Structure formats: structure tokens, C-alpha cells
Structure 1
Amino acid sequence: MKKLKIIGGRENECPICNGNVFKIETSIGIVWQCKDCGCMYQDFKCKKN
């Protein structure tokens, strides 16, 4: 299994808890994960306004 690789991060961008999210490269592609609430999503543009 391929290791996870953090390739970027943003503060106060989580659509659920407004926490810190990190862009992670995984075996299924690039995903965003919030380090505060743990949610994951695939495309940053999908976030609800």
C-alpha cells in the first residue's frame, strides 16, 4: 500500500468544523482531510457555501 503524503494545508477551511485541512495524496487520488474533525472529501470545490 502506498504511503500517505501530505502535499499542502490550509487553516480554517473545513466545511464542517472550520478547522485545519490538509491535502493528502493517497492510492485513490488526492483528498482533503480535516485534522480537527477527521472528515475527508475529494474536491475542495464541492464544499457548500
Structure 2
Amino acid sequence: MYISKIEIDHFGKWEHETFTFHPNLQVVQGLNESGKTTLRRFIEQMLFD
């Protein structure tokens, strides 16, 4: 499965955000409290809940 884009509305700290992914490599990086774990939790909930 390839996820090309994620649109998030009202999840954790994300309000009306869009993330576009490249098919060959993905690295999510950012400062502390920037929302990296929130993005991971969103993906997990969409796929496995």
C-alpha cells in the first residue's frame, strides 16, 4: 500500500493540514512538540481502528 496524501481535520494539534508523500522515501522530522507522534497516531488509527 502506498499513501500518497493525507488530509487531517481536527485531530490532535492538526487543523486543516495536508501531507503529501513521495513514493520512494519518507522521513518525518521536526522539533519537539511539532506533531510527529500525532501524525503517526492518525495514520495508525485510520489503518487499524
Q: Same fold (TM over 0.5)?
A: no
| Higher radius of gyration, 1 or 2 | 2
TM-score by length of 2: 0.29
Higher helix share: 2
More strand by share: 1
